[in-house]
Each structure stands twice: as structure tokens, then as C-alpha cells.
């Protein structure tokens, strides 16, 4: 009887462990810009030496794009009625060409999805770091909150953003 109970306990434990693996997900890694408490993947949320609230190299809003490997910079040009996203490195200082042909910009208000096409940039021989799309309305009519997503080397990336600088949309990021 004792032998049967031991065998049963051993089998139950083996079956139990077989179902206890890390959960996998096809969802892209997401990050939220403009918040001090956002996740940074396997960096454990540690301060990794840069400030996401500071303007990027093109004067736009910096967004962590999937855990710190990449960042994207969102630049709005109301005069040209155009939105441009630049893919940046971990330090948020250098543009990084990627193999994507387009990125998606999803806005919450008004609800809108823009496809940003790859833009050939001088000096980049393989891929591009710049993606643009025309704005269908004035920058002042858009509440800049949403997600930028895309696929790089077969890996989906996404980053959430919210422009916390409630200003007159001159994008100098100084409070008026």
C-alpha cells in the first residue's frame, strides 16, 4: 500500500511540473513612455542612465519600444502636416536602421490608425530608421496618446505613449 501511494505521489508531482512552464505570448513587448515606473525588460526597471522625458535628437517625444533594446522618437510637424518616427538605440542618441517596411501608429483620441512608411535616409545602406505618414488633421486636434508598433527581424515591438506636456503643441516641451 505504501509503495502504491509513493508511486502515485511521484506521478502526480511529475504531471504537475509538466504544466508549470513560463507562459509564452505572441503579444509584442510593450512599454509606456513618460512614466518613471515603466518596465525595462530584463533590466529590472533599474535606472539605466537616460531620461525618457527629455526631447530626442530630433526634438520629439521618446518612447521605450519593447523593453529598452530600441526606443522610438515621435516627431510631429504641424506645418508639413506630417508625423515621423525615428528608431533609436538604447542610449536614445543614435538612429538605428531596421528591416521594417512600415510601422503602425494607433491613436486613442480621435481613434485613428496611421501606417508610417519607411523613408530612405542618406547614409543608411541596409534598412531605415525613419518612418513617416501624412497627418489627416491638425496636430492641435489630436490627443497624442496611443501605441507605436512594428516588426523588426521577425520580432514584434510596441511602445505606448502619452504626451503629458499639455501645451499649445509647439513641441518645445516647455510649460507655458
CA 42 from chain center: how many Å?
15
Mean pLDDT of 94-118: 96
Q: Is the pLDDT at 53 greater than 80, yes or no? A: no
The dihedrals phi and psi of 108, each to the nearest 5 degrees, come to -90, -30
- Residue 166 pLDDT exceeds 80: no
**Structural Rg of the chain based on CA atoms:** 21
Flag whether the pTM goes above 0.75: no
Complete domains list, the chain, with CATH: 56-166 (2.60.40)
pLDDT mean over 76-87:
96
Q: Which residue has the higher pLDDT, 145 or 172?
A: 145
Placement of cell 500500500 in the chain: 1
Residue 142 has, within 13 A of its CA and on its CB side, a CA count of: 25
pLDDT of residue 125: 85
Amino acid at each position: 500500500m505504501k509503495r502504491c501511494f509513493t508511486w502515485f505521489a511521484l506521478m502526480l508531482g511529475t504531471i504537475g511540473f509538466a504544466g508549470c512552464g513560463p507562459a509564452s505570448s505572441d503579444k509584442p513587448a510593450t512599454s509606456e513612455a513618460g512614466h518613471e515606473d515603466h518596465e525595462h525588460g530584463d533590466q529590472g526597471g533599474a535606472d539605466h542612465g537616460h531620461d525618457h522625458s527629455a526631447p530626442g535628437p530630433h526634438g520629439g517625444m521618446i518612447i521605450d519600444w519593447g523593453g529598452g533594446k530600441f526606443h522610438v522618437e515621435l516627431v510631429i510637424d504641424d506645418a508639413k502636416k506630417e508625423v515621423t518616427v525615428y528608431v533609436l538605440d538604447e542610449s536614445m542618441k543614435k538612429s538605428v536602421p531596421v528591416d521594417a517596411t512600415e510601422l503602425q501608429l494607433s491613436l486613442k483620441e480621435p481613434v485613428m490608425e496611421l501606417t508610417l512608411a519607411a523613408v530612405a535616409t542618406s547614409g543608411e545602406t541596409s534598412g531605415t530608421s525613419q518612418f513617416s505618414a501624412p497627418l489627416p488633421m491638425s496636430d492641435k486636434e489630436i490627443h497624442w496618446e496611443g501605441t507605436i508598433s512594428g516588426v523588426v527581424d521577425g520580432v514584434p515591438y510596441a511602445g505606448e505613449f502619452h504626451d503629458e506636456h499639455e501645451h499649445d503643441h509647439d513641441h518645445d516641451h516647455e510649460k507655458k
